[in-house]
Amino acid sequence: MNRISTRIFLIIGLAVAVGLAVFVSPYASSSPDGLEKVAETQSFLEDGRLHALQESSPVPDYAFPGVDDPRLATALAGFVGTLMVALVGVAIMALVRRRARKAA
């Protein structure tokens, strides 16, 4: 039985994740989530404020800033976000491997 290498598996997984983020996320429901719906129903949605982290976010509200088309802005945000998470994961994996090699 042929085994797929870890590198190929990660590349395929990243391609699938990026594909979903770019091509599927723009078609996600625009309906409010549960918390937002309750805030709207109870009439205190307008009183809410963004957290400081959200205000300074590079990609606020799941849309890439400066892009007029909302679907394209969402696709770009998904693309950038997926790549950033992948890079953080690879960096953590590299650090863990480096420490394991030093310990051995």
**What pLDDT is stored for residue 91 in this prediction?**
94
Question: Looking at residues 21-45, what average pLDDT do you find?
Answer: 83
Alpha carbon separation from 56 to 48, 51, 84 (Å, rounded): 17, 9, 17
**What pLDDT is stored for residue 53 in this prediction?**
79
Which is higher by pLDDT, 87 or 50? 87
CA proximity to 14, closest of 98, 103, 84: 84
Judged against a pLDDT cut of 80, whether residue 1 lies above it is answered with no
Q: According to DSSP H, which parts of the chain are helical?
A: 6-23, 34-41, 52-55, 70-103
Mean pLDDT is lowest, of 15-19, 28-32, 38-42, 72-76, for 28-32
**What pLDDT is stored for residue 19 in this prediction?**
95
**What pLDDT is stored for residue 70 in this prediction?**
87
Judged against a pLDDT cut of 80, whether residue 18 lies above it is answered with yes
**What pLDDT is stored for residue 40 in this prediction?**
83
